[in-house]
Structure 1
Amino acid sequence: MKFTIEMPDVSACSVDRCAYNVRGACHAKAITVGDGVHPGCDTFTLSQRHTDGEVEAAGVGACKVAICKYNRELECEARSIEVDFDEDEAAATCTTFELA
């Protein structure tokens, strides 16, 4: 079975060390953001190997950060998001996050 749903896209990812990053774009089918408080990319997978990039672009499948203004019932309503590496948190982070 194959599902087709609309979800915000990951328009850019600058986390070069992630297995899903291919030339600055996320190639996971969908990512999950957050642990309830921090807007980290839960799909981040540290690896020297990268996917082949056959999946065109990732979407945001779920967001667990209830305090984000784009979060509606655990789903992201932003048009798109960007992911970057947060050195302070030592994690890949949704930089589109904004407090509600």
Structure 2
Amino acid sequence: MATVNLDLTPIHQCSAEGCTFNASTSCHAPAITVGDHGANHCATFLGIPTKHSPTRDGHVGACQLADCSHNSDLTCTAASVEVGASASGGTECLTYSAA
């Protein structure tokens, strides 16, 4: 079984409805990627109907948002993050803060 580096930033809450990894606002993906081609969104969002049983807490594995103040060498340095819906309806990191 794979293990997760506990030094990774935990996901405090995820309000992205319809994501396979979201169970009662708790992300249980082993590690998510934030950002895709410079856009602030959860690149790990998976919208299939089958939910996996929540067996672990989610973490930020990589951050591709070079302009975020919490990004250090593609690693999130925030104490924790919140993922949720953007005004346009996408799923993004709500903890994002422009550098």
Report the TM-score when normalising by structure 1. Answer: 0.89
Counterparts in 2 of 1:47 and 1:94: CA distance versus 1, 3 Å:
same
Q: Which residue of 2 aligns with 1:27?
A: 28
Describe the shift of the 1:50–1:4 C-alpha distance in structure 2 as closer, same or farther (beyond 3 A): closer
Aligned-pair CA distance for 1:91: 1.9
Determine the structure 1 residue equivalent to 2:92: 93
Q: Read off the aligned partner of 2:50 and give its amino acid letter.
A: R
Shift of 1:87: 4.2
Helix, strand or coil at the partner of 1:93? strand
Counterparts of 1:15-94 in structure 2, within 5 Å, are 15-54=16-55, 56-88=56-88, 90-94=89-93
User: Mean alpha-carbon deviation: is it higher for 15-24 or for 32-41?
Assistant: 32-41
Percent identity, please.
Answer: 34
Please report how far the alpha carbon of residue 47 of structure 1 lies from its aligned counterpart in structure 2 after TM superposition: 2.1
Structure 1 gaps of 5+ residues are none
Q: Using the alignment, how far apart are the partners of 1:2 and 1:22 within structure 2?
A: 21
Q: Is the 8 A contact 1:36 1:66 kept in 2?
A: no
Distance 1:17 1:4, change over 3 A: closer
Mapped contact 2:4–2:30 kept (Cα < 8 A): no
**How far, CA to CA, are the matches of 2:98 and 2:24 in structure 1?**
30
Provide the aligned C-alpha RMSD in A: 1.5
Deviation at 1:41, TM superposition (A): 0.4
5+ long unaligned stretches in structure 2:
none
Deviation at 1:37, TM superposition (A): 2.2
Total equivalences in the alignment: 98
AA aligned opposite 1:98? S
